[in-house]
Structures are given as structure tokens and as C-alpha cells.
Amino acid sequence: MSTFSKRLKEARLAAKISQERLGIDAGIEPASASARMNQYETGKHAPNSSTVAQIAVALNLPAAYFYSEDDDEAQMLVLFHRMPVERRREVLAGLGTVESGG
């Protein structure tokens, strides 16, 4: 199973929605939504970048989350994505201080 497939399934299950519902919410034709999402989760097919972006929006996740091989990094991406913009700026400023040794 690819990193993308693993993350997709984890995110969908955490959101407590079906493959069909996720596919429809991501803009996939209802008649094929369940089958396509199943193929993405099993790694049989990979979605294009546009479809990944739509899935990310449907799950309120950054697209990069699906490709992060490290679990801590993936969680950090989710938390950062869901922060208000002002808080993001604060976090980034703090990280800049850490980076410069301050």
C-alpha cells in the first residue's frame, strides 16, 4: 500500500464517511465515486493532482498530508492546516527563532 493510499484511508475513516460520500464530496461522479475511491485506497490507481486537491478540501486536510511518509510530520501538517492564519504566523515566527538558534 502506498503512502497516499494509507493516508487516504486513515483520513476517510477518521472523518467517519464512506468512500462514496468522500468521492461525491470531492466532485467525482456519483455513479463511480465509491469505486474510484476504493481504487485510490487500495493503490490500484492514483488520482491526479487536481483530484488530490479536491479530496483534501473535502477532508479539510492539506494535500501534502497524503504524501508525508512520517507520521509526526503528517500530524504537524494537519494541525498547521487547521490553525487560524494569525496562529500560523506565530508558529512560523517561533520556528524561525529556533532555526536561528535563538
pTM of the model: 0.88
Picking from 5, 17, 84, 20, the residue whose alpha carbon sits closest to that of residue 92 is 84
Angstrom distance (rounded) from CA 95 to CA 102 = 10
Compute the half-sphere exposure of residue 14: CA atoms within 13 Å on the CB side of its CA: 12
Quick one: pLDDT band at residue 96, thresholds 50, 70, 90? Answer: confident
Percent of residues, the chain, with pLDDT higher than 90: 90
What span, in angstroms and rounded, lies between the C-alpha atoms of 85 and 102? 23
Q: What is the mean pLDDT of residues 67-86?
A: 96
The fourth-level CATH superfamily of domain 3-99 is: lambda repressor-like DNA-binding domains (1.10.260.40)
